[in-house]
Chains A and B, each alone.
Chain A
């Protein structure tokens, strides 16, 4: 069973739809026991970092999520919440990745919205994906590049398109909305 973390962030339904299009069953849940016993966990999210972290703290998920031992995939805000700190509402995050989340400097349109390709890609999530492939982004904050960055993209500045540390994987883009390339990346995760 694939568990999708339920919290006060949107976009959960479309993640579940994408997982089911690939032939996997999933369950949207915030039950710690279910999260700990799942085969894989997806940590999605569109929303605001401060209120999302407040919700995770209130429900105790802030302590559960970093302890998960099976493969975890953070998506969009999910990636940012796995970092150390976000400039959005000056929020302490989960600290799985050694990177901070910053606001794009306002020299071009914000949010970074639409399809963008990669500067670099590596790792298991990107099997059969090339750096010229495009994926869909919607975000105003970005994770800086760190040693855990596995894919980079550039919009105003170079930033982490994807990150990995041990069993924790994350993408800033939305694989569930990124047509066939997104399906490949999601399938790569589900087959880890």
Chain B
């Protein structure tokens, strides 16, 4: 049976992991490769690395990090941050990334999805959608959630699929950072309306939150950052718990 996936997300700035961690077995907590290896050993199914470096010069160094990750990590990984065109993607894929993720740049120019998919295949295009519930329903936000767009979430997800996205990474801004659980309604709706895998993101605080999003929605994977980084939830323990709740995990 196909398993639901658990995906830790690492924010990278200037080649280092941004958020602190307390794992005893990691000597250099800021080294993304050491952290990634530790997650892989705990049973993470995939990894996401988001480059939040502000300058273009430093962003180029990100490809070097991607090469190190690809050399050492034996599970699939996605990278994103600052991808605006096919050339940006080519650098990262060549460095060894399995998938790339785009967000604002896809909203600004939806054909970018098609261009990347036709060059590298749909399987490597993860379209990230930041969404928030407004008086006008669930809307798409860009620029790190700072700017609202005219797009409604479900039609945009469907459009992304149509253009060749291989996966949707759906982050609910209503729950992101709150540790109050994933937004089940929009996750369920997007998962139902598209025929590509959906990764739920935003709001994970407890192991039960993962169980709830898998039990109540058709999402294929769940992503979280801080609860893994700070050691609040160990991935191995999380998977043991999900198995005991009859959720199919590796």
| Size of the chain A interface, CB-CB below 8 angstroms | 35
B74 contacts A10, CB within 8 Å?
no
Of residues 157 through 192 on chain A, the ones whose CB sits less than 8 Å from some CB of chain B are: 174, 176-180, 182-183
Tell me if A113 and B166 are in contact (CB < 8 A): yes
Q: Chain A contacts of B221 at CB under 8 A?
A: 114
Give the residue name and chain of the A residue nearest to B67 (CB).
A13
Q: Mark A31-57, 1 if CB is under 8 A from B, else 0.
A: 000000000000000111000000000
Q: A46-B123, A113-B167, A113-B197 are in contact. Are A17 and B2 (CB under 8 A)?
A: no
> A10 contacts which of B3, B45, B120, B218 (Cβ < 8 Å)?
B120
Q: Is A18 part of the binding interface, using a Cβ–Cβ cutoff of 8 Å?
A: yes
> Cβ of A142 < 8 Å from any Cβ of B?
no
What residue of chain B has the Cβ atom nearest to residue A17's Cβ? B71
B177 within 8 A of A: no
Given A111-B166, A113-B123, A114-B220, check contact A177 B74 (CB 8 Å). yes
Interchain CA distance A190-B139 in the complex, whole Å = 51
B124 at the binding interface (Cβ < 8 Å): yes
1/0 per residue B1-41: CB within 8 Å of A? 11111000000000000000000000000000000000010
With A17-B96, A177-B98 known as contacts, the answer to whether A114 contacts B2 (CB < 8 A) is yes
Q: Which one of A18, A20, A113, A183 has the greatest number of beta carbons of chain B within 10 Å? A: A113
- Residue of A109, A110, A115, A174 near B3 (CB, 8 A) is A115
Taking a contact as CB atoms under 8 Å apart, the answer to whether B195 and A110 are in contact is yes
The answer to whether A111 and B122 have CB atoms under 8 Å apart is: yes
Determine whether the beta carbon of B94 is less than 8 Å from that of A113. no
Bound-state CA distance A113–B218 (Å) is 14
Near A by CB (< 8 A), chain B positions 40-86 give 40, 45, 70-72, 74-76
Within 8 A of A (CB), among B80-110: 93-96, 98
Q: Interface on chain A toward B: helix, strand, loop, or mixed SS?
A: mixed
**CB atoms of B70 and A13 under 8 A apart:** yes
**CB < 8 Å A-B pair total:** 85
CB neighbours of A109 from chain B (8 A): 195-197, 218, 220
- B76 and A136 within 8 A (CB): yes
For A176, give the chain B residue with the smallest CB separation: B74
Residue ID in chain A nearest B191 by CB atoms: A109
CA distance A106 to B196 in the complex (A): 10
Does A21 interact with chain B (Cβ within 8 Å)? yes
Query: Which of B5, B124, B167 is close to A115, meaning CB atoms less than 8 Å apart?
Result: B5
B250 touches A (CB below 8 Å): yes
Chain A residues contacting B75 (CB-CB under 8 Å) are: 136, 177-179
**Cβ of B231 < 8 Å from any Cβ of A?**
no
Instruction: Identify 9 new A-B residue pairs, CB closer than 8 A, beyond the known A113-B197, A114-B45.
Output: A10-B93, A10-B120, A10-B121, A111-B123, A113-B123, A116-B2, A117-B1, A174-B76, A182-B74
